[in-house]
Structure 1
Amino acid sequence: MNFEELRDFLNEKADIYNNSEFIQDDPIQIPHRFSLKQDIEIAGFLAATISWGNRKAIIKSAEKMLDIMGNSPYDFVKNYSENDLKSIEGKSIHRTFNGEDFVYFIKQFNRIYSENESLENLFIIKGSETNFYHAIERFRTEFLNVEKHRSHKHISSPYKNSSSKRIIMFLRWMVRNDNRGVDFGIWENIDSKHLSIPLDVHTGNISRKLGLILRTQNDWKTVLELDEIIRKFDDQDPAKYDFALFGLGVTKELF
């Protein structure tokens, strides 16, 4: 396919999969259970953080965290007791994300929300920045805020050449606002043009199959390589092509 054909093909696939039916089998269903902005942010961030492996297992593990928080994430992180935290510490949550990690995140949310109305404040794009490379690192510095802890591994760093797939996915959820009912668009001070594709094994393989990228690693350098081409397709909403790549991966249309 030439440039125009590939762009039209991906636009068509993005349009097909960017609808409310997408929600029912995706971890994004977790924050969709809430209407309060802070509940959406916390539930979304936790669901995105554990988004590796089988999607059904991810959703089940996220539901476990919601149950622990009484299905009121913001109220819980603002008003938990020490006994609440002690009861969580030994629990199994999702693969290597355990009760100790969950407690650590709860404490960080408590501190962040005592100083900020929204997590958006920690991801603001500055100056001439065109993507979230520096913003994610600023967020990591602010959110982690303590000496080395085992939970740090659950928030990846683009400065260490990670694709930061889970944070990039969370950012898509919060920032994009196209009135299609999937992404929330509740962050009004960050423009969708700065978003990237959440790059993992599946989106990476589809992108290579289509000739969008050449690099074999799924790292930050490859995120930038993919950015370069998808922003030529749509420089105002490049992350919409995540739906196209996801759909092509599910249907195995290219294989």
Structure 2
Amino acid sequence: MLSSEELKNFLNEKADQYNHSDFIENDPVQIPHRFSLQQDIEIAGFLSATISWGNRKSIIKSAEKMLDIMGNSPYDFVMNHSGKELTSIQDKSIHRTFNGEDFAYFIRQFNRIYTNHGSLEDLFKLEKPEINFYHAIERFREQFLETEKHRSHKHVSSPYKNSSAKRIIMFLRWMIRKDQRGVDFGIWNIDQKYLSIPLDVHTGNMSRKLGLISRTQNDWKTVEELDRAIRKFDDKDPAKYDFALFGLGVTKELL
């Protein structure tokens, strides 16, 4: 078993290895990287993150389908679509259980949000003394989904229901982390020290293998357990270890 210092050095080395522009090519983060306008990046990023489960190639293909429908101008489509265009979306197949009805619902919600806000960042601001996005994600859900029940609500996870909220946490990493490596955008003025690691099969299994977490479920309590472990290694940029854990999990380097 590695000592704490050895584990820190190992994870720093692996984070450095995988946090590289080459990472973009095979990852859903490539979708928002096709844009330069902040609102385009946010919309393309949020939609891509929302459908990020399953095979990465199929996620990218499904995200490209959404871009095509939006004429490859997400923000313009969100703000200027016609009712007819939205109706035509509803019967389309998008990605697994995220269907055309969900996509059209998200477009409507984006329109309402951007009519009142310049950026999605406004909906994720933390309040003192919060140390992670547990409450901020829930506040975002309330504003984005509103109170009326809709089938699409299941696609925006709730930490209050003990979900790991992997896809939203990943989206937040994309928008917030600033490190000049070219993968994450760092376009929001929220401190990256509050970020957590998106907990999926790869990062969860690798965290257990390395003794970072003991809980067996990939839920919010485990997100916070992992927070406590990795913030001892770097409390200013804990989410960089996502690259190490995910990269190790995908390559199966430690098996």
The TM-score, its normalising length taken from structure 2, stands at: 0.99
C-alpha RMSD of matched pairs (Å): 0.4
Give the letter aligned to residue 224 of structure 1: E
Match in the other structure for 1:195? 195
* Separation in structure 2 between the aligned mates of residue 207 and residue 35 of structure 1, nearest angstrom: 34
1:127 Cα deviation from its structure 2 partner: 1.0
* Separation in structure 2 between the aligned mates of residue 167 and residue 157 of structure 1, nearest angstrom: 10
The TM-score, its normalising length taken from structure 1, stands at: 0.99
* Separation in structure 2 between the aligned mates of residue 200 and residue 251 of structure 1, nearest angstrom: 15
* Separation in structure 1 between the aligned mates of residue 244 and residue 17 of structure 2, nearest angstrom: 8
* Separation in structure 2 between the aligned mates of residue 129 and residue 21 of structure 1, nearest angstrom: 34
Does 2:133 align with 1:132?
Answer: yes
* Separation in structure 2 between the aligned mates of residue 82 and residue 241 of structure 1, nearest angstrom: 43
Give 3-state SS (helix, strand or coil) of 1:92's partner: coil
Match in the other structure for 1:76? 77
1:199 Cα deviation from its structure 2 partner: 0.1
Structure 1 residues 3-33: Cα deviation after superposition (integer angstroms, max 9, x where no partner): 0000000000000000100000000000000
Match in the other structure for 2:29? 28
* Separation in structure 1 between the aligned mates of residue 131 and residue 224 of structure 2, nearest angstrom: 11
* Separation in structure 2 between the aligned mates of residue 11 and residue 111 of structure 1, nearest angstrom: 41
* Separation in structure 2 between the aligned mates of residue 77 and residue 143 of structure 1, nearest angstrom: 14
Give 3-state SS (helix, strand or coil) of 1:47's partner: helix
Match in the other structure for 2:248? 248
Query: Structure 1: which 5+ residue stretches go unaligned?
Result: none
1:251 Cα deviation from its structure 2 partner: 1.6
Match in the other structure for 1:62? 63
* Separation in structure 2 between the aligned mates of residue 108 and residue 251 of structure 1, nearest angstrom: 38
1:201 Cα deviation from its structure 2 partner: 1.1
* Separation in structure 1 between the aligned mates of residue 221 and residue 147 of structure 2, nearest angstrom: 28
Structure 1 residues 180-209: Cα deviation after superposition (integer angstroms, max 9, x where no partner): 000000002x10000000001111000000
Give 3-state SS (helix, strand or coil) of 2:232's partner: helix
- Identity fraction in percent: 79
Alignment of 1:139-218 (within 5 A): 139-188=140-189, 190-218=190-218
Work out the number of aligned pairs and report it: 254
Give the letter aligned to residue 99 of structure 1: G
Structure 1 residues 75-95: Cα deviation after superposition (integer angstroms, max 9, x where no partner): 000000001011100000000
* Separation in structure 2 between the aligned mates of residue 209 and residue 35 of structure 1, nearest angstrom: 39
Structure 1 residues 93-150: Cα deviation after superposition (integer angstroms, max 9, x where no partner): 0000000000000000000000000000000011110000000000000000131100
Give the letter aligned to residue 131 of structure 2: T
* Separation in structure 2 between the aligned mates of residue 98 and residue 250 of structure 1, nearest angstrom: 28
* Separation in structure 2 between the aligned mates of residue 82 and residue 147 of structure 1, nearest angstrom: 20
* Separation in structure 2 between the aligned mates of residue 32 and residue 17 of structure 1, nearest angstrom: 17
Query: Structure 2: which 5+ residue stretches go unaligned?
Result: none
Structure 1 residues 138-174: Cα deviation after superposition (integer angstroms, max 9, x where no partner): 0000000131100000000000000000000000000
1:39 Cα deviation from its structure 2 partner: 0.1
* Separation in structure 1 between the aligned mates of residue 243 and residue 203 of structure 2, nearest angstrom: 10
* Separation in structure 2 between the aligned mates of residue 19 and residue 215 of structure 1, nearest angstrom: 30
Give the letter aligned to residue 180 of structure 2: N
